[in-house]
Structure 1
Amino acid sequence: MNIILSVDPVKFPLTGIGRYAYELARRLQETPEVESLKFFSGTNFLPVLPAPSDGAGKQHSLKRAVQKSYIAVEAYRLLMPYFRSRALRDYGNFLYHSPNYYLPPFAGYSIATFHDLSPFTWPHCHAPQLARYLRKELKTTLLRADALITDSEYTRRELAEYFSWPIEKIYTVPLASSIEFYPRDLDTLREPLSRYGLEADGYSLFVGTIEPRKNIETLLDAYSQLPIELRKRWPLILTGYHGWQNERIHERLENAKREGWACYLGFVPSEDLPFLFAGARLFTFPSLYEGFGLPVLEAMSSGVPVVCSSSSSLPEVAGGAALMCEAMDVDVLAELIHRGLVDEVWRSIAIARGIQHASAFSWDRCAMETVQVYRQVIKGR
């Protein structure tokens, strides 16, 4: 089969979608059934798979500026499909897969991966202009797609119900944590953690974009209920892209930092992230809505107990290995965090269960099941 894979998401900041696109691309390169694989970004084919970047270059700064202008966003939305379709016009015998929602006009087979429906179901958690852009583009994708892929069964059913799209044409293909996420010994962790002023087993961790949907204020409310000596022994460390609508969150983080029980590290380079995970005493993730929730799986792969919300797809990802509660229940979340920090019996069980549960997810499996979707689409059209 002949495949064109969009690799637009493989850029700074490398979010979960970028990681997915990168890991899938790497494995499709090694799949014998894929006779021809072409990488497409913007309006061009690339000679090689781009490497993930940890730095914000000029392109990223320009993108951030453009997103603030309604006219610029709308011009981009209207013009880019035309330029992309021109670049793709001679490849009608290929299957085009977008790992990030958007599909240009294309004469061949088209598949898009929908990671969540937040632009529709949680629009207030996106910048207004971005939410409008996403809603318009995603509706267009539904008209162009031969099939859709989702990361979780939750999103598959949500997508089918919300848009009355035939569920038999939506395929669930779970994500995975990368091989860099695994338990590490204290000697291995000492040097990379010292760069952030941290010690192994000496902090709780949150990883995710600093934005309202991640429910960080509830996490801070719950953490503040712990005894102060516990908070100072295991401070809450947060890392992730700075996001938006987070002024109040950062203000609270500054106050907690002054009190000695929380710290925001900013966006940590991808090579350091596995060490931060493996060194954590506990991973906390009370998100309001997730299409998958990859950090939960990365924590479990790293041998770290998890406390997370029971919202959306997270029960699928966490299985029975995490302590879960309603996302907005501050009191119960505080109790679970306390238990996750001090209950050694539960911690031992959770670590073993988490590693076993996470091992069922792999990028090899993700690529294999994605190729099966390609096969079904080519066979059934």
Structure 2
Amino acid sequence: MHIGINAQLLSYGQNYRNGGVSRYIRYLLTQLARQPGDHTYTVFVNGQDVIDHLEQHPQITYVSAPWPESRPVARVAWEQLTLPSLIRQRNIDVLHSPVNVRPEHLPAQCASIVTIHDLAFLRFPHVLTRAKRLYHRTFTVRSLKRATMLITVSESTKKDVHELLNIPCDRIQTIYPCIDERFSNVSIEEKVHTFREKYAVTDGYILYLGTLEPRKNIATLLDAYALLKKEHQIQEKLVLAGGKGWLYETIFDKVRQLGLEQDVLFPGFVSDSEQALWYQSAAAFALPSLYEGFGIPVAEALACGTPVVTSNVSSLPEAGAGLALCVDPHDIQALSAALYQALTDQVLRTKCQIMAPTVAQQFSAQTMVEKTIAAYEQAAKIHHQQRITFV
């Protein structure tokens, strides 16, 4: 088959756009270049500089379809108006839209697969800007209903899609995202020591890594951290690492209100070269999000052997692989207690270190790509049968 992949949201920029969905696309393309199966691929990306970062393979053709990154409207216009004609010209059999939305009108011969990462715009609409809510309600819902098949990144998201949109489960396949191989390579202790000295966190620290935005529940994490310092006089700082997303001003206001200016660090966007060291140098990792389609940082931290505190809602227990401490994300006392356990429980720390390779294997790139290729093949068969039935 000839498979098309709309990778327009793949970014190598040093900002929040190089976050979860971009990394999902990157890891998918990287592994496809290593095990493409029997198919050929045309991958549509945003700019030659993106192509220069990607691994090459004779079965994969990269096509640059640039649009200004600062103008999402231009991307949406290209996706809806230009991409269908490119699919027709190149005789693409299956189009994979790896971030929630496919073109409204596709050539009759083309099957479509959409990866849906979460339904936060339905579960928690108040944590999104008005523009994002409008985009998802206009494009995402219609895309999910019209796609030949859907890929969800967790069983929790699959359940949401079925319950909230009434889409049959037999059209939905759960394929976990993968952990990049760099997280399974344990760093030399001297590197960790040097890293901690560089950022003045020699006592270790509690790490949050992700986009700074409301759904991540960072305000509650700050309350729990303040309580932890008050009750146990801990020395570990709280590091809130990641690019600024949207509606993030309240986070900085909260730090000032709690008088934590000297205890909370904002290193900004974390580069790929240092991401594993941030995990491995941390005393504990925290992601008390209100809702996640999967929550890959939880799995990444566990693959680095770091104790994790996360929420007991949505997909986060799945990402926690039976090792993370899962608590009610609204319960400040429970979150504070779990953070203290993660910092002080040596049995838990040893268990996390021993189980780290198992977590990395559970969420491997090879497994993700093998299942994704199988989904392409299944979507083509379903689409062919539908066309025969229609005729």
Which range, TM-score by smaller chain?
0.7 to 0.9
Asked whether the equivalents of residues 39 and 49 of structure 1 are also in contact (C-alpha less than 8 Å), the reply is no
Structure 1: how far apart are the matches of 2:231 and 2:265?
16
**Structure 1 segments of 4 or more deviating over 6 A?**
none
Residue 261 of structure 2 is aligned to residue 226 of structure 1? no
Contact 1:149-1:171 within 8 A present in 2 as well: yes
Between stretches 4-13 and 258-267, larger displacement belongs to: 258-267
Is 1:19 matched with 2:23? Answer: yes
Give the whole-Å Cα distance in 2 for the aligned partners of 1:17 and 1:191.
Answer: 31
What does residue range 90-101 of structure 1 map to in structure 2 within 5 Å?
90-101=89-100
Task: Report if the CA contact (8 A) 2:279-2:304 is conserved.
Answer: yes
For the 8 Å contact 1:215–1:287, the answer to whether it is kept is yes
Amino acid at match of 1:356: T
- Whether the 8 Å contact between 2:213 and 2:245 is mirrored in structure 1 is yes
Structure 1 248/287 Cα, relative in aligned 2: closer, same or farther at 3 Å? same
- The one-letter amino acid paired with 1:206 is Y
Q: Does 1:168 align with 2:167?
A: no
Amino acid at match of 2:249: E
Match of 2:144 among 142, 153, 157: 142
* Unmatched 5+ stretches in structure 1: 53-58, 68-72
| Aligned 1:351-370 pairs, distance under 5 A | 351-370=353-372
Does 2:127 match 1:125? yes
Distance across 2 between alignment mates of 1:359 and 1:114: 23
Residues 153 and 176 in structure 2, CA contact (< 8 A), matched pair in contact too: yes
Q: Percent of counterpart pairs with the same letter?
A: 31
Q: CA contact under 8 A between 2:299 and 2:321: conserved in structure 1?
A: no
Q: Are 2:303 and 2:357, in contact at CA under 8 Å, matched by a contact in 1?
A: yes
**1:56 match:** none
In structure 2, the CA distance between the partners of 1:247 and 1:338, relative to structure 1 (3 Å rule), is same
Match runs of 1:163-312 below 5 Å: 163-182=165-184, 183-199=186-202, 202-228=204-230, 233-254=235-256, 260-312=262-314
CA distance in 2, matches of 1:331, 1:354: 28
Summarize deviations over 1:131-171 as a string: whole Å, max 9, x none: 10122111231243110100001101110121111210110
Report the alpha carbon displacement of residue 256 of structure 1 after superposing the two structures with TM.
6.0
Give 1:31 deviation, angstroms: 2.6
Whether the aligned pair in 2 keeps the contact of 1:39 and 1:48 (CA below 8 Å) is no
Structure 1 position 40 matched with structure 2 position 39: no
Q: CA deviation at 1:80?
A: 4.3
Over the residues paired in the alignment, what is the CA RMSD in angstroms? 2.5
The Cα shift of 1:259 comes to 5.2
Q: 1:32 to 1:338 in 2, by over 3 A?
A: closer
Aligned residues: 364
CA distance in 2, matches of 1:274, 1:136: 37
Q: How far did residue 50 of structure 1 move?
A: 5.1
Post-superposition CA distance 1:241-260 (Å, at most 9, x none): 21121212112335667553
- The unaligned stretches of length 5 or more in structure 2 are 55-65, 384-391
1:84 is matched with 83
Aligned to 1:55: none
Q: CA deviation at 1:180?
A: 1.1
Checking the alignment, whether the CA contact within 8 Å between 2:5 and 2:97 is kept in structure 1 is: yes
Q: Residues 262-316 of structure 1, C-alpha deviation per residue, up to 9 Å, x if partnerless?
A: 1111112121111111111100110000000000011001110111111100111
Check 1:142–1:380 CA distance in 2 against 1; reply closer, same or farther (3 A cut).
Answer: same
**Which secondary structure state, in structure 2, belongs to the residue aligned with residue 206 of structure 1?**
strand
1:191: how far off? 3.6
Specify the code of the residue in structure 1 equivalent to 2:255.
L
**Structure 1 position 230, deviation (Å):** 5.5
Aligned match of 1:30:
34
Q: Is the 8 A contact 1:95 1:110 kept in 2?
A: yes
